[in-house]
Amino acid sequence: MDEGGNSPFWDGLAGRFFDMTFPEADEFNAVHGTQFIADLMPKTPIYVSLLSEQARAVMGLPHPTGRAALRMLEEENFVFDRYIDIFDGGPTVTAHTDDIRTIEESDEETIEEIAPGGKTKMLLALGRLKDFRACLASTRRAGRKGLCIDPEAAELLGVKEGDTVLAVKR
Active-site amino acid positions:
63
Phi first, then psi: what are they for 154, rounded to 5°? -60, -40
| DSSP structure string for 62-95 | PPGGGHHHHHHHHHTT-EEEEEE-TTT--EEEE-
Rounded distance, CA 62 to CA 85, Å? 10
H-helix or E-strand spanning residue 26: helix 22-32
Beta bridge partners of 79: 94
